[in-house]
């Protein structure tokens, strides 16, 4: 069996990952202890690329929101956890302007979005592993 350098590194990282006693991700094993989010936050271009990728499939949700209006009809508030730049939340807010929407993501992600906050659409920075803002519904879009 022949492994190229990247494959060998991945194999060594995988072996380390399976043998670690502490909880650590495979990404952290492969990068010498740097988490995925630390990696993205240290490289603004990569973070922007990640945000653009997350936003790309959000456009498909525009159709889903129109087709599933009943899901949102009796809600007064919604928090979009890890909502990035708010592309999904903005779609929901456009369709349901009475709904108080909060986009909740890491402070550095929502830092540039605060200028577009309104009374009914708000951007909040924080850590979802510490706490999540209270709302009638929580949206967590998984890729």
Residue-wise pLDDT tens digits, 51-87: 777 666 666 777 777 788 888 888 999 999 988 888 8
Q: How far is CA 49 from the centre of its chain?
A: 13
Residue with tokens 């997350």: 54
Cα gap 43→55, rounded to integer Å: 19
Cα gap 10→71, rounded to integer Å: 43
Cα gap 17→13, rounded to integer Å: 6
The model carries a pTM of 0.61
Q: What pLDDT score was predicted for residue 101?
A: 95
Cα angle value 119/69/134 (rounded, 5°): 45
pLDDT digits (tens, 9 = 90+) for 21-46: 556 777 777 777 788 778 887 877 77
pLDDT digits (tens, 9 = 90+) for 103-136: 999 998 888 886 777 889 999 999 988 999 899 9
């Amino acid at each position: 069996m022949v492994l190229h350098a990247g494959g060998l590194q991945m194999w060594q990282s995988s072996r380390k990952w399976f043998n670690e006693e502490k909880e650590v991700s495979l990404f952290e094993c492969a990068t010498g202890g740097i988490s995925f989010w630390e990696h993205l936050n240290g490289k603004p271009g990569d973070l922007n690329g990640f945000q653009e990728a997350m936003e790309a499939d959000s456009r498909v949700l525009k159709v889903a929101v129109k087709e599933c209006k009943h899901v949102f009809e009796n809600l007064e508030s919604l928090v979009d956890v890890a909502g990035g730049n708010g592309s999904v939340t903005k779609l929901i807010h456009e369709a349901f302007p009475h709904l108080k929407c909060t986009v909740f993501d890491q402070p550095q992600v929502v830092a540039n979005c605060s200028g577009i906050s309104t009374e009914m659409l708000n951007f909040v920075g924080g850590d979802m592993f510490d706490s999540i803002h209270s709302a009638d519904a929580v949206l967590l879009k998984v890729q």
